[in-house]
Amino acid sequence: MEEGKKLLCSFGYAFRGIGWAIRTQRNLRIHLVATVYVLLFAWMMKLSAVHLCLELLCCMLIISLELVNSALERICDGITREQRPWIRDAKDAAAGAVLIAAIGSVVLALIIFFHGGYLSQLQKTFAEYPLSWITAILMIPIGGTFVFLPTKK
């Protein structure tokens, strides 16, 4: 029974860490909003299951790397606030990992969009459901509001 309680607690710690990161890390909120946009456009373009899985995998990779990057920055800041080249390098490398994953995800999305035959599907969706344009346009300020909420330390 004790092992089950430990396991349950470990999930609680993970959710607490995710909550902390959402409250304090603007870049994570940017990635979360981008994920919502990916899901919205995946629905509008009627992506195949394989393409949707690839897009979601990329989004989850970026969000996971952003969480690791945030954890590393927090630990480094806890060690010292002084300018140390080795801490700067570690932080920059972690941020670089997120950037590489984000660039790769955008390239993958463009390949899927342009070579997967979804451009015509998107045009059909907008023609059949004019409200989908409005929905897409309204999502931008809603996402922007979430991204630029003040961070809490």
* Residues assigned a catalytic role: 66
CA distance 120 to 117: 7
Tokens of 54: 């690839």
Q: Is 98 exposed, middle or buried (0-12, 13-18, 19+ CB in 10 A)?
A: buried
Residue 59's contacts (CB-CB under 8 Å, 6 or more residues apart) are 31, 34, 35, 38, 105
